[in-house]
Structure 1
Amino acid sequence: MFRTLTALAAVGALLVPAQPVHAAPSSAAVASRPSLQDQAFLIAAHESHLFEIAGGRIAQRRGLTQAVNALGSRFIRDHTVMDRALTATAAELGVALPNQPNAAQRARLAQYEEYDADRFDIVFVLTQLLGHQAAVADGKREVREGSDPRVIKLARDAAPTITAHHHQLIAARLALQP
């Protein structure tokens, strides 16, 4: 019995390497790279800012109501400010950002241009409500799951503005009801 245990211990020692096969990266290297969550948030938020700025311009031009025109102006102003902070942070972290909204957002912008003038305001408000709901959820996910304090701060700082937009969209939706 003793010989069997000794033999098993010797075989076990051969199976376990003395040093790890893959050394973990240094803490400095890990700290300098944003997590996949942080990168995904930066990219998605930047695309959303670009979409909101472009959509705001369309709302200013095509909106029939003062509420939609005002939302367009506010979206342009607020998302431009938020995107400046985001792009600076992404540059610090070495995260490459796209130069345009994503494909679905570009398709929505094209639809905004095609809607009948009498339908534009309601379609704009309803689609923006959905988009701002998603933005609120994305920001909460970043705060909960992000790792870089600078990116988490961007999400926290944007939350009151995105929430205010959402409330303004709800008010506009109620004003547009027949």
Structure 2
Amino acid sequence: MIAARIDRRARRVMVGIGATVLAFLLAPAGAARAADGVPVPPDGAMTDTGSGPLSAADRDFVVKVRLAGLWEIPAGNMAQEKSKNPKVIKIGKTISGQHVLLDKLDVGVAKTLGIALPNQPNNNQLGWLAEMRAANSTTFDQIYVDRLRAAHGQIFPAIATIRASTRNDAVRKLAQEANQFVLTHIALLESTGLVDYGSLPTAPPPKPNAGPVPVDGQMLAAATSSGGGVSGVSTTVLLLVLAGALTAGVITTMRILRAR
């Protein structure tokens, strides 16, 4: 009598465990829990040996990073001298100092890859600096914020293109680092409350049936064929095999308990 009760109880326990595990295996995967705070891209695993083909776009990007520092460093210095707004003064000092660091990173990459860099701003940048020099303390802040915010908005998508497409590891790392600098500077400039968003260029309209992100045929074929699972094996088949093994284990355990 007691043995029969134990057998029935053990059977119910094992069936319950089996059902729970089986339900877990067959349940659709839910969304991962969001991490607290916004993640910072890790760069510890990135290399910058200069290995990989170097494209014309890569070379142009390294030159543009250099050009950005050649005019934004003196512009930030002028902000500290001409502005009467403590926030603009602090932001000018921060952006100028960070461009000194970014310039060192860029010069190092250029040296590794044998890319010749300019030593003077281009004509447009010289014009912006002249405009700032001519401004008084009342008009300087708006000119400074407008010119830098527009320039950062132009190079931002260029950085993303290089980061996503370059085959050279040194350029890839520089693009990731430059992206973090640019995002920081955009946020700083916008924190002044002086950005004229209406004057900024708008994004081009999406192409019909293009989707939110451009994907080439090779990427699409790989994604649809693999499905994110084990190559050549259906996820459903794997789950059914696991469920079968679990059921067999439950039955075997019940038989052992019954024999006792």
Check if 1:61 corresponds to 2:81: yes
Fraction of identical pairs, as percent:
26
**Residue in structure 2 matched with residue 101 of structure 1 by the alignment:** 121
The 3 A distance-change label for structure 1 pair 123 and 43 is same
Rounded to whole Å, the distance in 2 between the matches of 1:159 and 1:109 is: 23
TM-score (norm 1): 0.76
TM-score (norm 2): 0.53
Whether the aligned pair in 2 keeps the contact of 1:46 and 1:83 (CA below 8 Å) is: yes
Q: Residue by residue, what CA displacement relative to the aligned partner does 1:2-42 show, whole Å, maximum 9, x if unpaired?
A: xxxxxxxxxxxxxxxxxxxxxxxxxxxxx676210110000
Structure in which a larger fraction of residues adopt helix: 1
Rounded to whole Å, the distance in 1 between the matches of 2:134 and 2:180 is: 32
Whether the aligned pair in 2 keeps the contact of 1:33 and 1:93 (CA below 8 Å) is: no
**Residue in structure 1 matched with residue 193 of structure 2 by the alignment:** 173
Structure 2 alignment gaps of length 5 or more: 1-50, 197-260
Check if 1:40 corresponds to 2:60: yes
Shift of 1:62: 0.9
**Residue in structure 2 matched with residue 164 of structure 1 by the alignment:** 184
**Residue in structure 1 matched with residue 158 of structure 2 by the alignment:** 138
**Residue in structure 2 matched with residue 71 of structure 1 by the alignment:** 91
Partner AA of 1:138 in structure 2 = A
Query: What RMSD in Å do the two structures reach over aligned CA positions?
Result: 1.8
Shift of 1:161: 2.0
**Residue in structure 1 matched with residue 142 of structure 2 by the alignment:** 122
Rounded to whole Å, the distance in 2 between the matches of 1:99 and 1:66 is: 31
Whether the aligned pair in 2 keeps the contact of 1:142 and 1:152 (CA below 8 Å) is: yes
Shift of 1:122: 1.1
Segment drifting more, 155-164 vs 95-104 = 155-164
Whether the aligned pair in 2 keeps the contact of 1:57 and 1:73 (CA below 8 Å) is: yes
Rounded to whole Å, the distance in 2 between the matches of 1:117 and 1:124 is: 11
- Please give the residue correspondences for 1:22-37 in structure 2 after superposition, counting only pairs within 5 Å: 34-37=54-57
Rounded to whole Å, the distance in 2 between the matches of 1:97 and 1:116 is: 33
Q: Residue by residue, what CA displacement relative to the aligned partner does 1:27-75 show, whole Å, maximum 9, x if unpaired?
A: xxxx676210110000011000111111111111111201111111111
Misfit runs of 4+, over 6 Å: none
Partner AA of 2:59 in structure 1 = Q
Number of paired residues? 146
Specify the structure having the higher radius of gyration (Cα).
2
Rounded to whole Å, the distance in 1 between the matches of 2:71 and 2:161 is: 20
